[in-house]
Amino acid sequence: MTISRIEPFILHVPVTGSSISDSTHTLSHWGVVGCRIHTREGLVGTGFTGTHADIAGDRLIARCIATSLTELLIGEDERDVTRLWQKVARHPPLQWIGRAGIAHLALGAVDVALWDLKAQAAGLPLWKLLGGATSERLTAYNTDIGWLSLSDEALVSGARRAVEEEGFRGIKVKVGSADIGRDIDRLAAVRRAVGDRVTIATDANGRWDLPTCLRFTRAARDLDLLWFEEPLWYDDVEGHVRLAAQGGVPVALGEQLYTAEAFFDFIRRGAMHYVQPDVARLAGITEYIRVAEAAHAARLPVVAHAGDMGQVHVHLSFWHPATSSFEYIPWIRSCFEEPVTVTNGDVVRPEQPGAGTAIRPEAFDTHAKSLD
């Protein structure tokens, strides 16, 4: 099996409604930036990373794939996924400029495509290739109903609909307002609407400082929050240590951590309770596995960040024994041949060979952007 050609692509897919916002970001589209890796034997593997659909940045990622990464991979045996990840990630010129950021995101897309090829060649879905599903049930929680930009009325009605009509038993609500009282009021209204048996997670997207986070957790004490996600600036290990010890609400984070070593530091220091790796930020599935195994060794739950990499994360979530829940955001599901599907609050296990990344031709017709 030999890599013969690597074909980058960029898709920009509309988000729910015309726009969404959390405390830090405002989006109208989600970027799906990646590549199709062709082999001389005729197989095609697809991988991608998730972005905020900034065309200039997306073109940099695609250009990195087309030039720097392609020259390292053409002629290689696509089955040697771990060796090829190491070859690219530790290639001195790339390592000099890309231990995080553009080169890292580009490698993530390539690594996912290589795992997709490996699973296709074996005739197995990725979760089966990795060793099989460790659970028959994967519970989904809905993030798409909880954006900070939603009015109070839309937030409450969306939460009620997700629970009563769609069967979700968990939801996530964005926080991070300038006035924490507004966030507490919104969370209290959601709790009244969905009842006590539905889990509610919160996410501040790194907006607040430690004193504000402590005020928030004290005010939210009676709301039975599942976790407080990205409460502080992403790299502030000491702040997370103190919040985890004093806040009274479990801390979740990981989507902005780019290396296994960064996760190891947070885990070792007791700075997180829920570990949230993302294959895009971790340069692919290969490094995700290392993080998930480290979390499992520390007996911490792993809940993949959607971001929106759910097509890949669903396989990793069914496979890994530290994972029992799954973040659901439906923005790009219509692009795929076997989209992530939730029925009565549970994720349907994918069964097609590969990593779940095969893109429908119609998605390219509708959403593709020029590479230059």
Q: Is residue 343 part of a domain?
A: yes
Can you give the pLDDT at residue 1? 79
202: helix, strand or coil: strand
Q: Are residues 97 and 181 in the same domain?
A: no
Q: CA 84, CA 78: separation in Å to the nearest integer? A: 8
Same domain? For 112 and 215 the reply is: no
Is the separation of the CB atoms in 320 and 118 below 8 Å?
Answer: no
Looking at residue 99, its pLDDT comes to 85
The one-character DSSP state at 249 is S
Q: Which helix (H) or strand (E) holds 267?
A: helix 260-268
Each residue of 283-338: pLDDT tens digit? 999 999 999 999 999 999 999 998 789 999 999 999 999 999 999 999 999 999 99
Cβ atoms 284, 259 nearer than 8 A = no
Is residue 111 located within the same domain as residue 133? no
Q: Phi first, then psi: give them for residue 293, nearest 5 degrees.
A: -70, -40
Contact 309, 108 (CB under 8 A): no
pLDDT for the residue 307: 75
Cis before residue 224, ω within 30 degrees of 0? Answer: no
Any domain includes 195: yes
Asked if the structure places residue 38 within a domain, the reply is yes
Q: What angle do CA 195, 141, 236 make, to 5 degrees?
A: 105
Does residue 341 contact residue 347 with C-beta atoms inside 8 Å? yes
Please state, as a whole number, how many other Cβ atoms lie within 10 Å of the Cβ of residue 182: 13
Q: Could you give the CA distance from residue 113 to residue 128 in angstroms, rounded to a whole number? A: 17
Query: 65: domain range?
Result: 2-124+359-367
3-state secondary structure of 185: helix
157 belongs to a structural domain = yes
Let me know: does 78 contact 4? Beta carbons within 8 Å. Answer: no
- Which residues of the chain fall short of a pLDDT of 70? none
Domain shared by 311 and 363, yes or no: no
Q: What is the pTM of this model?
A: 0.96
What's residue 259's pLDDT? 95
Residue 157 amino acid letter: S
Q: What is the pLDDT of residue 200?
A: 98
Angle of helix 102-122 relative to helix 285-297, nearest 10 degrees, comes to 90
Instruction: Verify that 90 and 154 share a domain, yes or no.
Output: no
Predicted pLDDT at 274: 98
CA dihedral 358, 351, 170, 359 (to 10 degrees): 10
Residues whose CB is less than 8 angstroms from the CB of residue 172 and which lie 6 or more positions away in sequence, other chains included: 141, 142, 143, 146, 200, 201, 202, 203, 229, 327
| Contact present, 10 and 78 (Cβ < 8 Å) | no
354 domain residue, yes or no = no
Instruction: Say if residue 74 is in the same domain as residue 139.
Output: no
Q: Please check whether residue 353 lies inside any domain of the structure.
A: no
Q: What is the CATH number of the domain that holds 257?
A: 3.20.20.120
Q: Is 179 in the same domain as 276? A: yes
170 and 301 together in one domain: yes
- Do 157 and 48 sit in the same domain of this protein? no
Place of tokens 């799954």: 326
Which residues are registered as beta bridge partners of 9?
Answer: 34
DSSP-assigned letters across all residues of 45-91: EEEEEEE---HHHHHHHHHHIIIIIHHHHTTS-TT-HHHHHHHHHT-
Residue 372 placed within a domain: no
pLDDT at residue 177, rounded to an integer? 96
Rounded CA-CA distance 291/240 in Å is: 18
* 167 within some domain: yes
Count the alpha carbons within 13 Å of 271 in the hemisphere toward its beta carbon.
24
CATH of the domain at 114: 3.30.390.10
One domain, residues 120 and 132: no
Count of domains in the chain? 2
Q: Which of 81, 98, 80 is nearest to 90 (CA)?
A: 98
325 shares a domain with 229: yes
193 in the same domain as 181: yes
